[in-house]
Homo-oligomer: A and B are copies of this chain.
C-alpha cells in the first residue's frame, strides 16, 4: 500500500504584489521543508467582481494601498527580490496566466513566471504587452509566436476559466493563496503556516 504524498497548492495571480513575494521564495522554502508544491495560476478579476469590487482593493482603499507599497518594498528587500513601484497598478496578467496555464508542464515555465513578476515589479514593464512577452519567451529559447498562439486556444482559455472557478469554490478571495490538506491559507505571510499544516496531518 502506498500513501500519496500531500502537495501544497500555490494559487497566484500575475497582477498581485504579494504573489510576487511568494513566487520569489516558495521554491527554496518548500525545498528546505521537503514539501512538494504545484503552481495554480488563476484570475483575481472575476473573484473581485463576485465580491462587488471592480478594481484592486489597494486602489479602492488608498490608505491600504499606500501602506501596501511600503510593505512590499520592505518585504522584497528582506527576501532579496528586486523592486521598483510600477507606474500603473494593477497590470493585466491575463496573457501571462494563459501562457502559464498552457505550458505548466514545461521546464522553462518556473523561470517564465518569476521573470514576469520581475519585469512587472522591478522594471515597470506592461506584462500584457505582446513584445515584452515575446522578448521574454525568446530569451527562454521558446518560439514566442507559437507559444502565444497556443495559449490563446479556446481549450486553454476555458482551462484558465475553470481554474478560476475552482479557486472561487475553494473560498479563495485574494492572492497568493495556499491550499494545504483542503484548508485555505491566504497571504504570503501564511506560507509557513500552510506548510506546517500540511506536515501535521
Contact = CB atoms under 8 A, between A and B. Distances in A.
Contacts of A173: 61, 63-64, 67
Contacts of A190: 71, 189
Nearest to A75: B193
Interface in A143-201: 171-174, 183-187, 189-190, 193, 197
Which of A61, A172, A183: most chain B CB closer than 10 A? A61
A66 B171 contact: yes
Given A74-B193, A173-B61, A186 B51 contact: no
Interface residues of A, number: 24
A70 interface: yes
A171 B70 CA distance: 12
A173 B66 CA distance: 10
A171 B74 contact: no
A61 B186 CA distance: 14
Contacts of A71: 185-186, 190
Nearest to A63: B173
A44 B38 CA distance: 38
Given A50-B63, A63-B171, A66-B171, 12 more contacts: A51-B63, A63-B172, A63-B173, A64-B174, A67-B171, A67-B173, A67-B186, A70-B184, A71-B186, A71-B190, A78-B193, A189-B190
20 contacts: A50-B63, A51-B61, A51-B63, A51-B64, A61-B173, A63-B172, A63-B173, A64-B173, A64-B174, A67-B173, A67-B184, A70-B183, A70-B184, A71-B185, A71-B186, A71-B190, A74-B193, A74-B197, A187-B189, A189-B190
